[in-house]
Amino acid sequence: MTPALLALQEVTFRYNSHGQVVFERFSIQVRSGSITAILGPNGAGKTTMLHLLLGWLHPQDGRVLLNDQPLRAYSRRELGQWIALVPQGEHIPYDYTVLEYALFGRTPYLRPLDMPTEEDRQAARQALEQVGISEKEHQFVTRMSGGERQLVLIARALAQQPRILLLDEPTSHLDLGNKNRLLHLLHELNCQGVTILLTTHEPEVAAGVASDVILMNRGRVLRSGPLEQVFTSQALSEAYGVNVRVHQLEGRRVVLWM
């Protein structure tokens, strides 16, 4: 069996000492080389889980492991070279151009006060080309549509050249064309050796890209494993609390809900 590259082991987490428990003895594993989709309704704890894996939040109990080492054993610079995040959205207070914003992904490779090199600019431009917005590199991000901004966030993460890519609801602002482009891009990155973990509440997205699926609800793992074992009518109905049916149509899984 392929070893876990990223894991939460018996994690308990609450946002403050008197707050409601978000996770209690919560465990997941992300296999090296996999595309793992975390599926579940809003409020399942998916974003909190990503922030724990990034080290932005710290559990009260349990362990967060990266490549079999505790996450705290890595410096922030090292973590930035291992893991990149594409958030659901981000407040952008200044008029950065698309290229300038993508260059922020090169930060883990620069020392304090260093300016980006031509190699960094090439990495950023390649990332913009990968997401299909290279012709917009001189436009201001603040003047772009929500879907275009999402593509800029993805480009920034790709410029980081991570070994693990985390994406939080990456298709939520994308139209069908760009959604299709993103799923193809995730397949390409995975073929290049990038391990991918994405959260989504859209079962169709998981069906279109994932090798592994983790079903969550209210801070609990309901089921986890290979897509063909977990992505079933019964499991999805349990996760979402509605009657869900999974059908095969022209070789693809199609999800219907009643």
Domain ranges for the chain: 4-93+162-257
pLDDT tens digits along 225-252: 999 999 999 999 998 888 989 988 877 8
**Domain range 4-93+162-257, CATH class:** alpha beta
Q: Phi and psi of 182, rounded to 5°?
A: -65, -45
- The tokens of 174 are what? 């994308």
DSSP category for residue 70: E
- The tokens of 10 are what? 């018996």
pLDDT tens digits along 87-99: 988 888 888 999 9
Total Cβ atoms within 10 A of residue 242:
10
Predicted TM-score of the model (pTM): 0.91
pLDDT tens digits along 122-135: 999 999 999 999 99
Cα 254 from chain centroid?
22
Please give the span between the terminal C-alpha atoms of the chain, in angstroms, as a whole number: 37
